[in-house]
Structure 1
Amino acid sequence: MANYDDAPKQWTKVWPSDEDRGRWGVADPVIDLRATAFIAQYKKRVSESEIHCQAQVQQ
Protein backbone atom coordinates (compact mmCIF):
# COMPACT_ATOMS: atom_id res chain seq x y z
CA MET A 1 0.00 0.00 0.00
CA ALA A 2 1.43 3.39 -1.00
CA ASN A 3 1.47 6.10 1.55
CA TYR A 4 0.76 9.79 1.05
CA ASP A 5 4.38 10.82 0.46
CA ASP A 6 4.81 8.31 -2.37
CA ALA A 7 1.97 9.76 -4.45
CA PRO A 8 2.92 11.79 -7.54
CA LYS A 9 3.14 15.50 -6.88
CA GLN A 10 0.49 17.66 -8.49
CA TRP A 11 1.29 21.33 -8.63
CA THR A 12 -1.23 24.05 -9.17
CA LYS A 13 -0.46 27.60 -10.15
CA VAL A 14 -1.51 30.24 -7.69
CA TRP A 15 -3.00 33.04 -9.77
CA PRO A 16 -2.90 36.58 -8.40
CA SER A 17 -6.28 37.93 -7.39
CA ASP A 18 -7.74 41.28 -8.33
CA GLU A 19 -7.16 42.50 -4.79
CA ASP A 20 -3.40 41.99 -5.16
CA ARG A 21 -3.18 45.00 -7.47
CA GLY A 22 -3.94 47.51 -4.77
CA ARG A 23 -6.90 49.55 -3.67
CA TRP A 24 -8.15 50.65 -7.11
CA GLY A 25 -6.84 47.77 -9.21
CA VAL A 26 -10.32 46.39 -9.79
CA ALA A 27 -12.87 49.14 -10.31
CA ASP A 28 -12.81 52.72 -11.46
CA PRO A 29 -12.66 55.04 -8.42
CA VAL A 30 -15.35 57.33 -9.87
CA ILE A 31 -17.72 54.51 -10.82
CA ASP A 32 -20.41 55.81 -8.46
CA LEU A 33 -20.39 59.24 -10.10
CA ARG A 34 -20.55 57.73 -13.57
CA ALA A 35 -23.39 55.41 -12.56
CA THR A 36 -25.34 58.28 -11.03
CA ALA A 37 -24.92 60.37 -14.19
CA PHE A 38 -25.96 57.42 -16.39
CA ILE A 39 -29.07 56.72 -14.31
CA ALA A 40 -30.08 60.40 -14.34
CA GLN A 41 -29.65 60.57 -18.12
CA TYR A 42 -31.67 57.37 -18.57
CA LYS A 43 -34.51 58.60 -16.34
CA LYS A 44 -34.60 61.92 -18.21
CA ARG A 45 -34.77 60.16 -21.58
CA VAL A 46 -37.53 57.80 -20.41
CA SER A 47 -39.60 60.58 -18.84
CA GLU A 48 -39.30 62.73 -21.98
CA SER A 49 -40.40 59.74 -24.04
CA GLU A 50 -43.44 59.16 -21.80
CA ILE A 51 -44.42 62.85 -21.97
CA HIS A 52 -44.08 62.76 -25.77
CA CYS A 53 -46.25 59.63 -26.00
CA GLN A 54 -48.92 61.14 -23.74
CA ALA A 55 -48.98 64.34 -25.82
CA GLN A 56 -49.55 62.33 -29.01
CA VAL A 57 -52.43 60.35 -27.45
CA GLN A 58 -54.19 63.52 -26.25
CA GLN A 59 -54.11 65.15 -29.69
Structure 2
Amino acid sequence: MINKLEKKGLVERKQNPDDKRAFNVILTEQGKELFDEIFPKHVEMISRSFSVISDEEKL
Protein backbone atom coordinates (compact mmCIF):
# COMPACT_ATOMS: atom_id res chain seq x y z
CA MET A 1 0.00 0.00 0.00
CA ILE A 2 2.76 2.43 0.94
CA ASN A 3 4.61 1.63 -2.29
CA LYS A 4 1.53 2.57 -4.33
CA LEU A 5 1.01 5.83 -2.42
CA GLU A 6 4.68 6.64 -2.85
CA LYS A 7 4.55 5.99 -6.61
CA LYS A 8 1.58 8.37 -6.86
CA GLY A 9 3.58 11.06 -5.04
CA LEU A 10 1.24 11.15 -2.05
CA VAL A 11 3.74 10.02 0.60
CA GLU A 12 7.47 9.76 1.07
CA ARG A 13 9.59 7.60 3.34
CA LYS A 14 12.15 9.15 5.65
CA GLN A 15 14.53 7.06 7.67
CA ASN A 16 13.72 7.20 11.37
CA PRO A 17 16.62 9.07 13.01
CA ASP A 18 16.21 7.05 16.24
CA ASP A 19 15.98 3.63 14.61
CA LYS A 20 17.84 3.07 11.34
CA ARG A 21 15.79 -0.10 10.72
CA ALA A 22 12.55 1.87 10.46
CA PHE A 23 11.09 4.49 8.17
CA ASN A 24 8.55 7.22 8.84
CA VAL A 25 5.91 7.72 6.17
CA ILE A 26 5.11 11.40 5.60
CA LEU A 27 2.42 13.02 3.47
CA THR A 28 3.71 15.13 0.60
CA GLU A 29 2.03 18.44 -0.28
CA GLN A 30 0.00 16.57 -2.90
CA GLY A 31 -0.95 13.99 -0.24
CA LYS A 32 -2.00 16.72 2.19
CA GLU A 33 -4.20 18.34 -0.46
CA LEU A 34 -5.89 15.03 -1.23
CA PHE A 35 -6.36 14.31 2.49
CA ASP A 36 -7.92 17.74 3.04
CA GLU A 37 -10.33 17.04 0.17
CA ILE A 38 -11.27 13.49 1.18
CA PHE A 39 -11.28 13.56 4.99
CA PRO A 40 -14.36 15.78 5.51
CA LYS A 41 -16.36 13.43 3.25
CA HIS A 42 -15.10 10.46 5.27
CA VAL A 43 -16.14 12.08 8.57
CA GLU A 44 -19.57 12.85 7.12
CA MET A 45 -20.03 9.25 6.00
CA ILE A 46 -19.05 7.90 9.43
CA SER A 47 -21.35 10.38 11.16
CA ARG A 48 -24.27 9.27 8.99
CA SER A 49 -23.45 5.62 9.61
CA PHE A 50 -23.51 6.11 13.39
CA SER A 51 -26.50 8.46 13.45
CA VAL A 52 -28.86 5.52 14.03
CA ILE A 53 -27.00 4.57 17.23
CA SER A 54 -27.99 6.24 20.49
CA ASP A 55 -25.44 8.19 22.52
CA GLU A 56 -25.52 5.43 25.16
CA GLU A 57 -24.67 2.80 22.56
CA LYS A 58 -21.76 4.90 21.30
CA LEU A 59 -20.09 4.77 24.72
After TM superposition, the score normalised by the length of structure 1 is 0.36
Higher RCO (Cα < 8 Å, 6 or more apart): 2
Quick check: which one's helix share is greater? 1
Larger strand proportion of the pair: 2
